[in-house]
Amino acid sequence: MRAAVIAGPGEMRMEEVALPEPGAGEVRIRLEGCGVCASNLTPWGGAEWMKYPMDAGSPGHEGWGVVDALGEGVAGLTVGQRVAALSYRSYAEYDVAAADAVVPLPAALDGKPFPGEPLGCAMNIFRRSGIHEGQTVAIVGIGFLG
């Protein structure tokens, strides 16, 4: 499969690498796309503590696509199902993700890009905040998501 490799600061190349195999509790996804997160800017920019070349497909973590293979013990997901995932090497044609980091996408999103991490961030904020329906809140400093 093809995967992007960040070879150095501001330097990227495409490489042919082995197709990853899902382990127990993992799924393989044939990727349709991957978002670019603000956290991807540091490795691209070349912070002095970065190590190059990075792993093939890194640091892509906002991928979406179709489940292609299931590892042992995976329940609730099926081959052919369209999903979004939080994984680590999604700047590639395929990636492997823990099944509990994969969310099925509804039919209303068919054919549409859907990097799931921004939604996951918002859901995490609401879950931790104690905000309830009917309350009035102010959102200050949304940062790079907004």
3 in Cβ contact with 57 (< 8 Å) = yes
Per the structure, the complete domain to which residue 65 belongs is given by: 2-145
The CB-side HSE value for 118 (13 A sphere, CA atoms) comes to: 14
The pTM of the full predicted model, rounded to 2 decimals, is 0.85
Q: How far is CA 29 from the centre of its chain?
A: 10
- pLDDT at 140 exceeding the cut of 80: no
Summarised one tens digit per residue, pLDDT across range 78-127 is 999 999 999 999 999 999 999 999 999 999 999 999 988 877 777 777 78
The mean predicted confidence, pLDDT, of the chain is: 92
**Structural domains counted in the chain:** 1
Q: What is the CATH number of the domain that holds 117?
A: 3.90.180.10
| Residue 145's pLDDT band (cuts 50, 70, 90) | low
- Please state, as a whole number, how many other Cβ atoms lie within 10 Å of the Cβ of residue 44: 17
- pLDDT at 40 exceeding the cut of 90: no
| Residue 143's pLDDT band (cuts 50, 70, 90) | low
